[in-house]
Amino acid sequence: MFGIIWSAVGGFFAKAWLQIGIMGGAAIAVAAVLFSARSAGRQAERVEGMQRALQNVKVRNEVDRIVNSGSDDDFDRLRRKWTYK
């Protein structure tokens, strides 16, 4: 008699733990997906920042190239034009 009761109680708790395990696994899976989406967003923002920095460096290098390709007469003319107005 007690064997049947214990097996029924044990079966109930085994089923309950199985359901708890399934729910816990689903919650962990959802948390992992949300965390990876957050990381992907941060990574995309980081890439955009690096692209802006690269564009700024390219513009700065182009300006330096243009400035360094001029002659001293050109520099004197530009300096006079902007400083003695």
pLDDT tens digits, 20-73: 888 999 999 999 999 998 889 899 999 999 999 999 999 888 878 877 777 777
Whose tokens are 């692209």? That residue is 51
| 76 vs 81, residue with greater confidence | 76
Whose tokens are 């460096």? That residue is 57
| pTM of the predicted model over 0.75 | no
Rg of the chain on CA atoms, in Å: 35
